[in-house]
């Protein structure tokens, strides 16, 4: 057979096969009554994004419905607006000012700050108007305004602040407000769903969802320019949090408060995947201290600590890879009196395991000076438990109130009285009522002197003073203030 005949035979065979296939398909498959196109069940359907879901037949898996939590919690979250007056640039300049600037460098920069405004969030925690928020939301504000979820607006009073936990308590004069109940932040589990509610970028009542990514996280954000008694035991989540969310609520699916949203980890300043909240157990303790005493009752063990690592365990022959290593025990402290020693490894407080410094600090911070706690530790391979009586920053078990006198390095100080404030035009300060000796007297400071700033940091309370002094250990400090006769003065002290 020639090539031409073979080629023609192949073409004819193809046409006959196609005709048979089409005819068989037509006989076996019924055609559509509408347009002759047969419906096909596509395993990967594609639709426009405006597709409407029939929610009447849609079932949300149990435990994953955020509607109840959002609906019950949102009314208790408020929008906070703050106003800041211009600061710095005093008309009356001390002749020693240039010396102090040269001596202390940037720590004595007195550039003027223009008036401005800020915004954040807060959580109503009682029906009579107490609101929890972050210290950095209201710090230094001359005026605080609160906008409720129902659009009512109130002026707020700052009851107290705590830079060491970045928490603050403010109050509005109102009754019968919707408030949020506290949940169990200690019992919350990694992987558990949570909602973040706040006002990011001033978008009011914004709700985002995520899971608990980690607990007792220390990100060293409060250590910047603060004291050595800061407490960081953040709940880490991946719920979206942005500027303006600070002070807002982190809630569980029951609509209970489990944290106050405080910070984000971000190279840009906007949300990049992780947010951090102060746990509710710590929030509750701090804000009620501020309410009852005007100052946080700061319990201290009096030890210098480090996380146990594989390198440290090998170096010190610890035979343990988790816990808190005691680097030093300070004399006269709760730890010293309880018999704790350097190189001990703390593994539990009151029977609750502590694997790192953040967990230890959180468990201790939930108490008050005078409370007794059980400290379980490992020494020379043996597990022991001792009872320690916690002390305050002045090494006593007394309650520290915002308006009570206290002694520091031979000087007796107390919050400046209302009469002195009015006379000198001050908003706050600490006045030296007596000097028995020590660094204050050696520097030339006299009785009656009102401390207004240390290293440019406003001194409004006992905590402000101790934070400033503790952060300056081993360095010189610049003290600014005024005497009752109106004379301003500046002192440099080696601390």
With tokens 């984000």, the residue in question is 264
Q: CA 461 to CA 431: how far, in whole Å?
A: 11
Is 344 designated active site?
A: no
Q: Is 350 annotated as a binding residue?
A: no
What is the C-alpha separation between 328 and 154, in angstroms, rounded? 49
Ranges assigned E (strand) in 1-97:
77-84
Give the start-end residues of each E strand in 98-188: 116-124, 130-133, 143-147, 153-162, 167-171
Among 249, 223, 202, CA closest to 70: 249
Catalytic residue among 79, 121, 136, 164: 136
- Annotated binding-site residue? 244: yes
Instruction: Cite the beta strand spans of 27-150 per DSSP E.
Output: 77-84, 116-124, 130-133, 143-147
Whether 486 contacts 424, CB under 8 Å: yes
Report the C-alpha gap between 247 and 77 in whole angstroms.
9
Contact partners, residue 149, CB within 8 Å, separation at least 6: 74, 75, 76, 77, 78, 178, 204, 205
Which of 227, 246, 461, 471 does the annotation list as catalytic? Answer: 246
Annotated catalytic residue within 166, 289, 455, 464: 166
Active site residue 166: yes
The answer to whether 233 touches 349, Cβ cutoff 8 Å, is no
Note if 79 is an active site residue: no
State the DSSP string of 275-312. Answer: EEEEEHHHHHHHHHHHHHHSS----B--EEEEE--HHH
Task: Provide the β-strand partners of residue 132.
Answer: 123, 169
Torsion angle of C-alpha atoms 158, 163, 165, 167, degrees rounded to 10 = 20
Is 166 annotated as belonging to a binding site?
yes
Catalytic residues: 136, 166, 246
Annotated binding site for substrate: 136, 166, 244-246
Annotated binding site: 136, 166, 244-246
């Amino acid at each position: 057979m020639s090539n031409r005949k073979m080629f023609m035979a192949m073409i004819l065979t193809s046409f006959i096969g196609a005709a048979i296939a089409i005819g068989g398909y037509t006989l076996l498959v019924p055609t559509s009554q509408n347009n002759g196109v047969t419906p096909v069940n596509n395993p990967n359907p594609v639709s426009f994004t405006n597709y409407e879901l029939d929610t009447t037949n849609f079932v949300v898996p149990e435990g994953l419905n955020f509607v109840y939590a959002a609906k019950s919690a949102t009314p208790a979250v408020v929008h906070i607006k703050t106003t800041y007056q211009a600061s710095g640039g005093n008309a009356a300049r001390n002749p020693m000012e240039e010396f102090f600037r040269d001596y202390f460098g940037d720590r004595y920069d007195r550039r003027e700050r223009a008036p401005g405004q800020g915004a954040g969030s807060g959580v109503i925690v009682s029906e009579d108007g107490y609101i929890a928020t972050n210290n950095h939301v209201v710090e230094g504000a001359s005026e605080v305004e609160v906008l409720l979820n129902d659009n009512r607006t109130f002026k707020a009073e700052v009851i107290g602040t705590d830079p060491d936990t970045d928490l603050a308590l403010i109050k509005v004069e109102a009754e019968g407000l919707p408030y949020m109940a506290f949940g169990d932040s200690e019992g919350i589990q990694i992987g558990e769903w949570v909602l973040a509610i706040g006002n990011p970028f001033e978008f009011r009542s914004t709700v985002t969802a995520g899971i608990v990514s980690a607990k007792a996280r220390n990100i060293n954000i409060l250590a910047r320019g603060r004291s050595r008694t800061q407490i960081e035991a953040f709940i880490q989540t991946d719920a979206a949090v942005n500027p303006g969310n600070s002070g807002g609520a982190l809630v569980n699916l029951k609509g209970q408060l489990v944290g106050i949203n405080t910070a984000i980890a971000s190279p840009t300043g906007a949300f990049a995947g992780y947010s951090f909240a102060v746990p509710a157990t710590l929030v509750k303790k701090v804000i009620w201290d501020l309410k009852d005493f005007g100052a946080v009752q700061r319990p201290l063990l009096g030890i210098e600590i480090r996380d146990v690592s594989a390198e440290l365990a090998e170096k010190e022959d610890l035979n343990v890879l988790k816990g808190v290593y005691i680097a030093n025990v300070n004399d006269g402290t709760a730890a010293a009196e309880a018999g704790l020693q350097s190189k001990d490894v703390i593994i539990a407080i009151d029977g609750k395991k502590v694997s790192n410094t953040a967990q230890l600090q959180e468990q201790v911070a939930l108490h008050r000076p005078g409370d007794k706690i059980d400290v379980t530790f490992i020494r020379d391979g043996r597990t022991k438990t001792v009872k320690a009586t916690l002390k305050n920053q002045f090494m006593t078990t007394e309650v520290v109130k915002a308006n009570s006198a206290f002694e520091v390095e031979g000087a007796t100080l107390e919050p400046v009285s209302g009469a002195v404030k009015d006379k000198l035009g001050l908003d706050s300060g600490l006045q030296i009522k007596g000097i028995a000796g020590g660094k204050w007297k050696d520097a030339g400071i006299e009785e009656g002197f009102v401390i207004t700033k240390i290293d440019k940091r406003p001194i409004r309370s006992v905590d402000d003073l101790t934070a400033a002094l503790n952060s300056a250990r081993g360095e010189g400090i610049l003290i600014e203030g005024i005497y009752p006769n109106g004379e301003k003065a500046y002192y440099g002290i080696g601390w």
